[in-house]
Amino acid sequence: MDQSLAAWQPRPGQPLQLDPVEVPQPGPNEILVRNMAIAINPVDWLLQDSALFPWLDYPAILGSDVAGDVVAVGSIVARFKIGDRVLGQAVGATTNRPAHGAFQTFTLVLSNMASHIPPNISYVDAAVLPLGVGTAACGLFQKDHLALEHPSLTPKATGKTILIWGGSSSVGCNAIQLAVAAGYECVTTASLHNKDMVRSLGASEVFDHADQNVVDQVVQALRGKDFAGALHATGNMQHCFSAVSACDGRRFVSTTLTPPADRAAGVETNQIFATSLKDNEVSDAVYVNFLGRALAQGKIRPAPPAQIAGSGLASLQTALQSQKKGVSGKKIVVTLDN
């Protein structure tokens, strides 16, 4: 196990290139995962196309979502042992360490950014979760965002309602599930054909984001509710800010992308950085104390559903292109046969 294979990003604007890489040793709080499935996120093709993160050196190993088997554990890791099936949010694009990237045979994962995969969940299904969960968790639970109650296996109703704009996206699906598990009612937007899917994840009301009256419909749905703020996962950000500005309650939008300068007045906002939970209490609240058990008990479902783009690291380039073309209520996944 001295060498492994990685899909390197040589420079921005170039295709992935398969080359060997040394298998790293886990640091004290890390686990080494032999990847069995890797999922694709928009940031992966963004970082392939351009140097979006100025701190990231190329050649780089991109990718955030892994599911696989633990093959080595760091000296202070007590939650995992060799042979455990795990999912993990890989943080290489933040730490600027290729060993932390997902697009390779073995990935070093921070133990507080990993959860056990229960026997009832496949590697493919588990791989759809990490970045969607992590991003949603930053927006919902961090003190500098919506600061909601943490998720629980036995949630108590808070009596409060939140708005998730873009409920069928990867971030949106997981934001709905985590907010419901934290005791909040969830109003959301999606295309009509994804309405049943987002409802099945726990959204109480779903509005068609393509309807020209969507802002009024959302405002009407939130009237009289104890409003706890919004998470903008995807879609028209101006619409989301307009709806929130017309609501009573917490006028705050946590955003996945840069908030527009000319947004509706009187609405506070903050942009999510999806790996920031690794350094605060939210990773414990979600990855350590909640996600593995919630999956085992069926309280969180892998969503959006996986769409397999191929097998082997050589399929990652096609998978990136599929994600870039756009998905609707689906997560692109590549399987590895290690």
As measured in angstroms, the least distance from the Cβ of 136 to ligand NAP is: 9
Q: Positive or negative CA dihedral for 207, 208, 214, 216?
A: negative
Judged by DSSP in three states, 208 sits in strand
Sign of CA dihedral 260, 231, 283, 82: negative
Does 194 interact with ligand NAP (rule: CB under 6 A)?
yes
In the complex with ligand NAP, the residue whose CB is nearer, 270 or 338, is 270
Residue 209 touching ligand NAP (CB under 6 A)? yes
For ligand NAP, which is the closer residue by CB, 200 or 297? 200
Nearer to ligand NAP, 79 or 324 (CB): 324
The correct pick among 170, 254, 307, 317 for binding ligand NAP (CB under 6 A) is 170
Q: Among residue numbers 311 through 330, which ones bind ligand NAP (CB under 6 A)? A: 327-329
Q: Compute how many residues bind ligand NAP; rule: CB under 6 A.
A: 27
**Cβ-based burial of 51 (10 A; exposed 0-12, middle 13-18, buried ≥19):** middle
Pick 102 or 171: Cβ nearer ligand NAP:
171
In the complex, the smallest distance separating the C-beta of residue 314 from ligand NAP, rounded to whole angstroms, is: 23
Residues near 170 by beta carbon (within 8 Å), at least 6 away in sequence? 41, 128, 131, 132, 304, 331
Is residue 307 near ligand NAP by the rule CB under 6 A?
A: no
Instruction: Give the shortest CB-223-to-ligand NAP separation in angstroms.
Output: 23
Is residue 171 a contact point for ligand NAP (CB under 6 A)? Answer: yes
Q: Is 92 in the site for ligand NAP (CB under 6 A)?
A: no
Measure the CA dihedral 316/320/322/325, to 10°: -170
Instruction: Work out which of 26, 101, 166, 183 binds ligand NAP, going by CB under 6 A.
Output: 166
CB proximity list for 255: less than 8 A, separation 6 or greater? 139, 231, 232, 237, 269, 270, 271, 272
* Listed residue (280, 199, 193, 264) closest to 230, CA to CA: 264
Q: How far apart are CA 186 and CA 180, in angstroms?
A: 7
Stretch that binds ligand NAP, among 52-60, 152-160, 186-194, 211-219 (CB under 6 A): 186-194
Figure out which of the listed residues 169, 177, 317, 322 binds ligand NAP, where binding follows CB under 6 A.
Answer: 169
Residues 6+ apart with CB under 8 A from 51: 12, 58
Which residue of 105, 111, 234, 283 would you call a contact of ligand NAP, by CB under 6 A? 234
Question: According to CB under 6 A, which one of 76, 257, 308, 314 is a site residue for ligand NAP?
Answer: 257
**Residue 313: which residues within 8 A CB-CB, separation 6 or more?**
5, 6, 7, 16, 18, 103, 104, 105, 334, 336
Structure-token pair, residue 211: 């309807």
Q: Which of 41, 307, 317, 322 binds ligand NAP (CB under 6 A)?
A: 41
Burial (CB count within 10 angstroms: exposed 0-12, middle 13-18, buried 19+), residue 245: middle
- Smallest gap from residue 233 Cβ to ligand NAP (A): 5
Closest CB to ligand NAP among residues 51, 327:
327
Q: Which amino acid is residue 58, in one-letter code?
A: Y
Interaction of residue 43 with ligand NAP, rule CB under 6 A:
yes
**Residue 309, interface with ligand NAP (CB under 6 A)?**
no
Which of 300, 304, 287, 303 lies closest to 181, judged by CA? Answer: 300
Residue ranges that bind ligand NAP, judged by CB under 6 A: 41-43, 131-132, 135, 166, 168-171, 190-191, 194, 209, 233-236, 256-257, 272-274, 327-329
